[in-house]
Structure 1
Amino acid sequence: MEVMPLNYVAVLVCAVVMFMLGGLWYSPALFAKQWMELIGKSKEELKNASNATMYVRSFILGLMSCYVLANIINFAGATTVETGAMVGFVCWAGFNGAPTYNNEVNFMKRPIALWGINSGYILVSYLVCGAILALWR
């Protein structure tokens, strides 16, 4: 099997997409209110605790995730929206969905709704980025 070189521009674009999706996901337009209630924090508490470093760190971690996803898509030979999204789904299920459910819901007894919001963001990110990375090889 011939493995194509990675498209680093696509990886960077996906990291930006993932970062922006996170901003939307945890905004008042989508899940901010429910998420804050579930973690027991107010908007003011979160605003006081946030700083530029945490957002830079978040972007870098997203970039790392997109790099790994791009490699897996490359090794899988995914070249369509469907196959890229499927690889994204499989990666989410195996590396995020199941393990975080086990830790956060099963053992830590956190609300399943909190897991759904947090893990749902990763699922949608991996589906979208998987599709982009498969098409833009």
Structure 2
Amino acid sequence: MLKFCIAIISLLVSTGLLAATGERSDPESVLAGKKLYVQYCQACHQKDGVGEKPIPAFLAQPGYLTAMPLNETSHAWHHTDEQIIHTIMNGLKRTKRMPAWQGVINEQQAGQLLAYLKSLWSDRILGCQGPKHMSCM
């Protein structure tokens, strides 16, 4: 049990695993995250995180949501790092289009995906990430 606790703590404090909300991640995490993004996310969220084009509501199936942009043009940056990783790992209940990736990728890889997403945001947007978005725009 002690070895397990030490391993978890060392993962949580390791450099580059996950920058704090509103901070840039290290370049190695961004590069690893981009590879994961291309493999798991790009089919829906598109190249460079631009998301899918909206479709008219009368064409959409119940529970169908287009994949939102993950770059700074939408609201992904309104969420904290923890919230984004939770969504990656657990999916969204309101649509089956955003699956839970838990069991496919691990928490470290989710952090790398987040590092890549944050690399798509400008410094201004990154500085307003999370709860700060309500007061800094």
The two structures have a TM-score, normalised by structure 2, of: 0.29
The two structures have a TM-score, normalised by structure 1, of: 0.29
Which of the two has greater helix per residue?
A: 1
- Where relative contact order (Cα < 8 A, 6+ residues apart) is larger, the structure is 1
